[in-house]
A = this chain, B = another copy of it.
Amino acid sequence: MALIVQKYGGTSVGDLERIANVARRVAQRKNEGNDMVVVVSAMAGETDRLIDLAKKIAPIPNERELDTIMATGEQVTIGLLAITLEAMGYAAKSYCGWQIPILTDNAYGAARIAEVKADAIKADLSAGRIVIVAGFQGLSADGNVSTLGRGGSDTSAVAVAAALKADACEIFTDVDGVYTTDPNITSKARKIRKIAYEEMLEMAALGAKVLNIRSVEFAMRYGVPLFVRSSFNDNEGTLVTKESEDMEKEIIRAVTSSTKEAKITFTGVQDKPGVASQIFSAMADANVVLDMIIQNSSADGITDITFTIPEADLEKSLVICRGIAEKLGAATVTGSNDIAKVSIVGLGMRSYSGVAAKMFTALAAEGINIEMISTSEIKISCVIRKKYMELAVRVLHDAFELEKAAV
């Protein structure tokens, strides 16, 4: 007998039939003798409908109030799932975020979980009840409803699993696991059986959509084993866990890609202390998160600076940068969203040399120019022209032979 936390996303609870399907899956695991906690999202489309309502009133609605509105989506789902399980003869009990409570900070719309009080849930499990928890929401330090941001239900599930010291946290989604790359880009993409937290974290940061990045951070910090599975079939999924001996011995684990970035270039900037800090302080003040930054070394005291930012922030960033360029006497400021970021990720990189060389050679062989490079211990990212993205992914997937599992 184990304690299992399952999470079902919006598509998996999109209508009453799908909710009944979820109830049957939960009941089956309960029948096998497990204690069950189920975390659910809002029915697909519901969160967007609620946001649209609020935005018709004000383009930037009061965040505290928007959270109160958005949280109703999950509140409806938990009630419907509990009614379904009760009607099937199971004792079930639903919890809103504030009821547990899942305590968060006051960052409405992107709140961070501070603590999950698990006593009430434990008492229900002891009494044989199936516990249903509203994902995506919590109780803010000020006593209001807060939401965790897009994909927040994954984080709710992992946080609840950590608080309960659950044996496993199963994330049910509309794909049946984590793949070596996006299967929409190459049919050679292969499902990964087991992956380390660190790798999954890099993949989430670099554009893989299957798991919310905060949920992986949380799972890693508390050592919660995460299973990624499909709610529409019984295929074996992917286990995200601590690095271990029995993981496949790949040099790299996966190739990711993203078109969500844009770049800004300053040319003809004086190469002296304080210049970069003026630019980056202004960006920080505007809440723009910088990713890669490149500054060429200069011989004549004049240099260029290029950095990447989220594509959505390009316009407002350009306005800020043009103001700064004038003050700095920079020659030009240009922006472009015609870029893509292609990355390779893998713990194996640490013990193999020549991984970067292999990546650059493979791209060069197809005539793909690399505009920017950034590396960490377990990933290498290249910024290239957007039109080459899919080609680059296929080339790298082939070069590192990801279509077949290593022994």
Contact = CB atoms under 8 A, between A and B. Distances in A.
Nearest to A19: B57
Given A16-B53, A57-B16, A69 B75 contact: yes
A143 interface: yes
Contacts of A76: 50, 53, 69, 72
Contact of A53 (B65, B80, B86, B145): B80
Interface string A30-63: 0000000000000000000010011011100110
A28 to B, nearest CB: 19
A97 to B, nearest CB: 12
A65 B50 contact: no
A78 interface: yes
A62 B83 contact: yes
Given A53-B76, A61-B86, 20 more contacts: A16-B53, A16-B56, A53-B80, A54-B83, A57-B80, A57-B83, A58-B83, A58-B86, A65-B78, A65-B79, A65-B82, A65-B92, A66-B83, A68-B79, A68-B82, A69-B75, A69-B79, A69-B83, A72-B72, A75-B75
Contacts of A19: 57
Given A72-B75, A75-B69, A144-B99, A87 B16 contact: no
A65 B162 CA distance: 26
A255 interface: no
Nearest to A43: B53
B65 A86 contact: yes
Nearest to A87: B58
Interface residues of A, number: 37
Contacts of A66: 79, 83
A155 interface: no
Contacts of A94: 65, 68
Nearest to A73: B72
B83 A145 contact: no
Contacts of A68: 75, 78-79, 82, 94, 96
Contacts of A54: 79-80, 83
A98 interface: yes
The complex is assembled from copies of this chain, and their number is 2
A84 interface: yes
A152 to B, nearest CB: 18
Contacts of A86: 58, 61-62, 65
Contacts of A87: 57-58, 61-62
A84 B99 contact: no
Contacts of A92: 62, 65
A20 to B, nearest CB: 8
A71 B98 CA distance: 14
21 contacts: A16-B57, A20-B57, A50-B76, A53-B80, A57-B84, A58-B87, A61-B83, A62-B82, A64-B93, A65-B79, A65-B83, A65-B86, A65-B92, A68-B78, A68-B79, A68-B82, A69-B80, A69-B83, A72-B76, A75-B75, A96-B145
Contacts of A56: 16
User: Which 5 pairs across A and B sit closest by C-beta, in order of nearness?
Assistant: A69-B79, A72-B72, A58-B87, A65-B82, A68-B79
Interface in A84-141: 84, 86-87, 92-94, 96, 98-99
Q: Which of A68, A79, A93, A144 has the most CB of B within 10 A?
A: A79
